Amino acid sequence: MSTTLEDVAEALREALGADAVKDGDSERDLHSADLSFHEPHRPDLVVYPSSTAAVSQALAIANDRRIPVTPFGVGTSLEGHIIPVHGGITLDLSRLDRIVDLSPANLTATVQAGVTRLALTRAAGEHGLFFPVDPGADATLGGMAATNAAGTTTVRYGKMRANVLAHAAERFYGRALVP
């Protein structure tokens, strides 16, 4: 199957809406680099899903056409992993910014990938709590989970993976993995 960029853009616009798909130079430049020293590379398209279903639709379209997809939060990465070195689609998850559940009694939070660290810290602060992983930047929690973010509080509270697993174990097994 021969696929042109216009075909992909049209399929994405049809599935997600015209405002969810951007191909302008400034939009592509914004998503071509992070805070690292790595050389920037522009994506061909930037897609802004606003729901889990929209993420699934965008990924299905990309998969059907064998188009590479690079997830993007807020661009604070120091590792270069958000740079779309093969072009394709940058999937900007910033519109998935809802705190789904905050349970002070269980010390857990369920969030969408685009929620920032400071947004969760502010929400938890209303209950006298805080989010312990602090990489320094106001990164998205999806990006922090993807990179196992660490920071100045890591020695005491652990990296992102340990915090996510503790929540998952509590939610699915009814107890923490570690006593």
Distances (CA, A) of 79 to 39, 172, 179: 12, 32, 33
Asked if 132 and 153 count as a contact pair (C-beta separation under 8 A), the reply is yes
Check pLDDT > 80 for residue 172.
no
**In this predicted model, what pLDDT tens digit does every residue of 107-131 receive, in sequence order?**
889 999 999 999 999 999 999 998 8
**Helix and strand totals (H; E) in the chain:** 7, 6
> Which phi-psi region, left, alpha or beta, contains residue 87 (left: φ > 0; alpha: ψ -120 to 50)?
left
Strand 21-22 with 45-47, pairing? antiparallel
Q: Please state the rounded mean pLDDT for residues 60-87.
A: 92
pLDDT of residue 83 exceeding 50? yes
What domains can be seen in the chain, in order of their start residue? 5-92 (3.30.43.10), 99-173 (no CATH)
pLDDT tier, 1 (very low <50, low <70, confident <90, very high otherwise): very low
| pLDDT for the residue numbered 160 | 87
